[in-house]
Amino acid sequence: MRKGEITGLRWKDIDFEQKIIYIRQIYDINAKQFKVGAKTSAGVRSIHIPDVLIEQLKKERFVVVGHKLKQGQSFNDYDLVVCTRYGNPLDSATLSKRLKAQSIKLGLPTIRFHDLRHTHVTMLIKQNGNVKVISERLGHTSIQITLDKYSHVPPSMQKHVADELDNLFKVKEM
């Protein structure tokens, strides 16, 4: 997901039963306003999510409800998944700080927010994910955008292809 999609994500855009996130609005961090839709026409989409993310979202919802109860009338209820303790959308710097803090807490290398998108795509490609499905998941209008922008081939995949070719030729030689 893009930064604006995450900062604009509302609880009503998550179907916990079907395990789907619906991208229906973004938060434009620079303009400081919500916008219906997404960055592109393909950006308005549904994303199937794993059980582990569902569980994390349930925990986060509990935290947000706690902030809402504690702040009372001071809480600005935009129904946001990712927000300040007062319910407001996060700015770019705060989102980056939270990512860095969480990375350090988990003992992971610190990366830029957008690098998460690259990592996600690389992981899916390594698992031989269908490029069309990956492209739709990212909200791209065509697979060409996905291939041009995100599909750098890790050395391990190059080696895997070479090993597969070796196996193929060994079978044919026998």
DSSP string, 38-59: -SSGGGSEEEE--HHHHHHHHH
Is 2 labeled as catalytic in the residue annotation? Answer: yes
For 54, the token pair is 């569902």
32 is catalytic: yes
What is the per-residue DSSP string for 123-160? Answer: HHHHTT--HHHHHHHHT-SSHHHHHHHH-PPPHHHHHH
- Tokens encoding 95: 């989102």
Pair 134, 146: CB distance under 8 Å: yes
Per residue of the chain (174 residues), what is the pLDDT tens digit?
888 999 999 999 999 999 999 999 999 988 889 998 888 777 789 999 999 999 999 999 999 999 999 999 999 999 999 999 999 999 888 988 999 999 899 888 888 888 888 888 888 887 877 888 888 888 888 888 888 877 666 666 667 667 777 877 775 555
Q: What is the pTM of this model?
A: 0.79
| Residue entry with tokens 């993310």 | 53
Bridge partners (DSSP) listed for residue 26: 35
Known active-site residue 114? yes
Tell me whether residue 140 is one of the annotated catalytic residues. yes
Q: Which of 32, 58, 98, 160 is catalytic?
A: 32
Q: Which domains does the chain have, with CATH numbers?
A: 3-109 (1.10.443.10), 114-174 (no CATH)
